[in-house]
Amino acid sequence: MELIVAVYDDWGIGRDGTQPIALSADRKFFRETTRGAMVIVGRRTVEDFPGGKPLPGRENVLLTRSGRAYPGFTVCASPQEAAALAKNAPKAFVIGGGSIYRQMLPYCTAAYVTRIHANPGSDTFFPNLEEQQGWRRAEVLQTGVEQGIAYEMVLYKRLLPEES
């Protein structure tokens, strides 16, 4: 399982339930990277989806403790349950938000991180993978500037046992 996230300079990822700065290059990268895959998402982040609807062209797995049904989503009541489902999918990405990234990071072997060089002030954060033990920066996949804001898409990988 892998994850995909956009972070600001302070590794903030959102404020008041949404992303204060969203770049269209990042949206495009997200769409292309996750196309056809399973995506695993927390209930609060789904509230920020257009119309609260599942993302088209992907199998949407929603995490909630409520026991509610969400049309178009496969509902899971725990990260373990979501991880078990992901095992049977050819490709699966954790797509947020903060609490789901935190709980599912131990299951992930790679992280696609868009580093957006701005500091809009967040109330939700992602662990800083530059400092996180067991992770390494593997590759810069893309760089650019949009609306005067520099960004890069960085692939981080979990260290193999012999590397740590």
Ligand X SMILES: NC(=O)c1ccc[n+]([C@@H]2O[C@H](COP(=O)([O-])OP(=O)(O)OC[C@H]3O[C@@H](n4cnc5c(N)ncnc54)[C@H](OP(=O)(O)O)[C@@H]3O)[C@@H](O)[C@H]2O)c1
Binding site for ligand X (CB under 6 A): 5-6, 13-14, 17-19, 42-45, 48, 63-66, 77-79, 95-100, 103, 124
Nearer to ligand X, 18 or 164 (CB): 18
C-alpha to C-alpha distance for 89 and 128, rounded to whole angstroms: 28
CB atoms within 10 A of CB 78: 11
CB of 53 to ligand X, least distance (A): 16
Burial profile 5-17: b = 16 or more Cβ within 10 angstroms, e = fewer: bbbbeebbbbeee
Nearer to ligand X, 78 or 109 (CB): 78
Q: What is the CA radius of gyration of the chain?
A: 15
Which amino acid is located at 64 in the chain?
Answer: T
CB of 20 to ligand X, least distance (A): 9
CB of 22 to ligand X, least distance (A): 8
Burial class (CB in 10 A: 0-12, 13-18, 19+), 81: middle
Nearer to ligand X, 17 or 52 (CB): 17
CB of 1 to ligand X, least distance (A): 15
Nearer to ligand X, 7 or 157 (CB): 7
Nearer to ligand X, 59 or 79 (CB): 79
CB of 106 to ligand X, least distance (A): 13
Most distant pair of Cα atoms in the chain: their distance: 46
Burial class (CB in 10 A: 0-12, 13-18, 19+), 117: exposed
